[in-house]
A and B are shown apart, each in its own frame.
Chain A
Amino acid sequence: MKQLGLSYFTDLHVTLIGLLLFIVVFATISFWVLKMITTEQVDRWSRLPLDSDSSSEPKTGSHP
């Protein structure tokens, strides 16, 4: 009896809450990503690593 309880006991509600949470998070993020942010924003953001580029023309100064 206890053995059975052990191997099958389920806290199903917790699992369901988890899945529900995931769906909500995923839907919200997707909505935000696809609808709320503009192409200009995305373009600017995706260029952030390139902005600060110093490899072509190093801006240099001496270490204080």
Chain B
Amino acid sequence: MTQSHSLAEVYDDKIVRSFVLATLFWGLIAFIVGLLAALQLAYWPFNFNLEWLTYGRIRPLHTNAAIFAFAGNAIFAGIYYSTQRLLKTRMFSDLLSSLHFWGWQILIVSAAVTLLLGFSMGKEYAELEWPLDIFITLIWVIFAVNFFGTLSRRKEKHMYVAIWFYIATIITVAVLHIVNSIEIPVSTFKSYPVWSGIQDALVQWWYGHNAVAFFLTTPFLGLMYYFIPKAADRPVYSYRLSIIHFWALVFLYIWAGPHHLLYTALPDWAQTLGMIFSLMLWAPSWGGMINGLLTLRGAWHKVRTEPILKFLVTAVTFYGMSTFEGPLLSIKSVSALAHYTDWIIAHVHGGTLGWNGFLTFGMIYYLVPRLWNTQLHSKKLAEWHFWIGLLGIIIYYISMWAAGITQGLMWRAVDDKGKLVYPDFIETVTRIVPLYWVRALGGALFIAGFLLMIYNIWKTLRKAPQTRKEEIVPQQVPLKTQTHPETSHRKLEGLVTVFTVLVVLAVLAGSIIEIYPTLSLHNYIDPLKRTQPYSPLEIAGRDVYISEGCYVCHSQMIRKLPEDVLRFGPASTIEESFYDHPFQWGSKRTGPDLARVGGKYPALWHYRHMMNPRDLIPQSIMPNYPWLEQKKVDFYVLRKKFSVLKRLGVPYDENTVANADKIAEEQAKTIAAELKNGGAPAGLEDKEIVALIAYLQALGKKGGTP
């Protein structure tokens, strides 16, 4: 913005360099936390019995760090580099660029700290609490203004297809984040989402699936369309195909969310819609993959000698594999087997490690020598990185695939008499624990490769000249309309506006059609007759459940499938979770479903189980929660919580809201007395463990069953 045009204008590569280094740094953190999580499933004491290192807290940290810190910084590096060159102009504002950079890093650090401390919304990949949600929005707006500002001062009229993908990313991520994060604060780090139950489920997975689509797919496709032609020194195979790829993808992706909810209480029409659109996604995804791969026509020999191309080509191949597997998993009968198992974890890592990871690595190997005016320290090490990393992914992928299918089959195995062959859930866990070790090995190899990269880049930077030469923006730009700078400017902005509006329409069409019908759901439910809302103490316990991240291992949604009903009881209904802000249906069953655990065991059992699961189930891999016996419940804040919940439509009367703390204390005393009679220590009545037990005992006991 402040660039003087009399001097030769240069591209702002300083910001690209910053984002590249941040990618490497956060990548390392995200991967190591992932490895730690993997090790904990193989051998639970890897949490060192520390509250903030338990699985329920570091798993959200791992996913958020991998998506928003590693992939996020990588996307920004690639976007800042390619956008300037494709539009032949420097970024709109250096100030906004650096606000974007530092804002994002501060956000990541705050996210890491709050997640480990147990501040969580309890919604996957959207765990961050409301102050951070606002901060994310702010940074995203800064990024958007900077990006669209650059578009409006571009010196190349045509927006290359990569730019389209970036625009779609910026617009859609904003819409997704804002809608999914509408929440009402209770305190500095606690809020309740306005959505509840099925509505929340639909909004969450509309968000969750499209976070994959518009954070991990569209921006990376933009990078693919830029960096593969660059690295191969050839234009993209078919530019026409890329245009169709873009529109089909942007239009179709947004509908696919409900495939995360097959066989749940979600109405059938929505499930079918999600499945059909997921299947339709096959076509554009493969169109894109083929387009990427065929760009190398006549240059395949380069792949043999160029590690950069190896990474990029393999990334696109993984894109093809993941987008083949995704629709496959959306077929109802396949989902019946795979949902809640580690097959999904395999699928996700094929996408993140293979597609996002390798594309990022390829891009960084391409960028670093150019950004620092030097040569890569060692091509050979990059080769090694490639092979070790690839081996790691394959081991990861196969082990989780095997674990998922094994466990899925064990869950559904029924003998001639119609009984479950493996009625004890723990049997299905111990069977796959060896595969958790293998997975950890795969992850460790991936990290080993990555460490080679860090070493290689560090050596490269040390060789780099002290005074850098920046690339000059070409001046002789033949913009047809340049004779009238005023009109030309307006015209360029006009194009961007039209394009952006079209993207918004494409994205909103699917979103509204998917979410709108659930807004009328309350017409079908007679609240008071059906589900009793949770008592104050149960809500306090529910907040402990959310804060400890129990939902990353436990579902609360019994599917309409014989094996689920046999094992856990009648299928869950919409009414049962109708007042759940947020819903806790979960997505993975490392432990059993808890939707009907209420009354299954006495309170004392839960107490002992939470203190040390192995006292009762010797082979359990669930963490100990000894601190729940120490930490006190904040009874007083319950009044505030209840007034918020009441405002959100949960049918509490005035008395319950006004006396929430006293009602909770009464209930806590009863449970604590029961525990004490059974031999538990005295004085538990104001501790979190009692609240949690109250909540667990209420699950499935509040009516709303058919």
Contact = CB atoms under 8 A, between A and B. Distances in A.
Is B one of A's binding partners? yes
A54 B467 CA distance: 18
B252 A11 contact: no
B158 A18 contact: no
B472 A49 contact: no
Contact of A49 (B4, B160, B273, B370): B160
B129 to A, nearest CB: 33
Given A11-B517, A48-B158, A60 B470 contact: yes
Given A26-B247, A49-B229, A61 B268 contact: no
Interface string A42-62: 111111111011110011111
B269 interface: yes
Name the interface size band of chain A.
35 or more
B251 A15 contact: no
Contacts of B469: 58, 60-62
Interface string B246-259: 01100110010000
Interface in B250-279: 251-252, 255, 267-269, 273
Contacts of A14: 513, 516-517
Nearest to B273: A15
Interface residues of B, number: 57
A33 B410 CA distance: 50
Interface in A1-38: 2-3, 5-12, 14-15, 17-18, 21-22, 25-26, 29-30, 32-34, 37
A15, A48, A52, A64 pick with most chain B CB within 10 angstroms? A48
B255 A18 contact: yes
Contact of B248 (A26, A46, A49, A58): A26
Contacts of A59: 471-472, 474
Nearest to B228: A49
Contact of B267 (A7, A32, A47, A53): A7
Contact of B243 (A5, A8, A9, A33): A33
A12 B216 CA distance: 32
Interface of B: 3-4, 7-8, 10, 14, 82, 85-86, 88, 156, 158, 160-162, 225-226, 229-230, 233-236, 239-240, 243-244, 247-248, 251-252, 255, 267-269, 273, 370, 373, 467-472, 474, 506, 509-510, 513, 516-517, 521, 524-526, 574, 706
Interface of A: 2-3, 5-12, 14-15, 17-18, 21-22, 25-26, 29-30, 32-34, 37, 42-50, 52-55, 58-64
